[in-house]
Amino acid sequence: MEYPIILVGLGHWSDFLFFTPERKRDMQHDPFYPQSAEQIAELARSRKFIPDEVAGAVRQWSNTPTADVIPTRYGARGFEFLLTKRREAPWAGEWFFAGGRILPGEIPAEALPRVCRQELGFVPEACGTKLVLLQSICNPESAGGGEAYFTLSTCFQVWPEYEQQIHLDTNKAEFRWFTPEAAHEIVFPIYVQKAISYLHREPVRSLAMP
């Protein structure tokens, strides 16, 4: 049995609307928004890049969402995870996880393949991907030397093939596979330490080194 759906007007709790599933299927777009799906998609495309003249202010007064990634694998040394060393601010010269901004219209899981391909040169398999941590990161400065700003990190753990080649983006100086033991000898930024502590040790066995 299908029941009518009630929509309550946002901000006007005395307003409501009864309509059936059939009427819902006839609707062209979400009734809460005046734009069609095509118009919303075009709006998202137009806001893919933040204009330089306002980028600093946008960063300073927002909590920019990012999709971040830590590849893991099992090799001759056991469990390993990959971090990259950044060339530029924020975190220039530090070992950090790869990642990038979630674009308008994207959700984190949709941004992950794009970001991983841009930053590390490969697209992770969905079956070898796990969300490990959400955290708000205070970045000490922007690439242009601006004030500290916040990002909301959605960090994923991915299990690539053991022989997967890594091709870094130009803003990365190098990458390294760390074992937990070797990581104890390095002082990572607190946000990296926290993400590492949430990594899972159960690999997709078919992706482990033979």
Q: What is the pLDDT of residues 78-109, one digit of tens each?
A: 999 999 999 988 899 999 999 999 999 999 99
Full domain range(s) for residue 10: 5-34
What CATH number did the domain enclosing 175 receive?
A: 3.90.79.10
Q: What is the pLDDT of residues 12-53, one digit of tens each?
A: 545 555 555 665 555 555 666 667 778 878 887 888 778 878
Burial class of 169 by CB neighbour count within 10 A (0 to 12, 13 to 18, 19+): middle
Q: What's the mean pLDDT in 149-174?
A: 95
- Judge contact between 175 and 69, C-beta under 8 A: no
Residues 27 and 75 occupy one common structural domain: no
Residues 105 and 177 occupy one common structural domain: yes
Which pairing describes strands 63-75 and 149-158: parallel, antiparallel, or unpaired? Answer: parallel
Q: What is the pLDDT of residues 47-79, one digit of tens each?
A: 877 887 877 777 778 889 999 999 999 988 999
In a domain, 46, yes or no: no
pTM (predicted TM-score): 0.77
In a domain, 169, yes or no: yes
Residues 30 and 77 occupy one common structural domain: no
Residues 15 and 92 occupy one common structural domain: no
- Judge contact between 154 and 116, C-beta under 8 A: no
Looking at the chain, the whole-number percentage of residues with pLDDT higher than 90 is 56
Cβ of 58: how many Cβ atoms within 10 Å? 12
Residues 139 and 194 occupy one common structural domain: yes
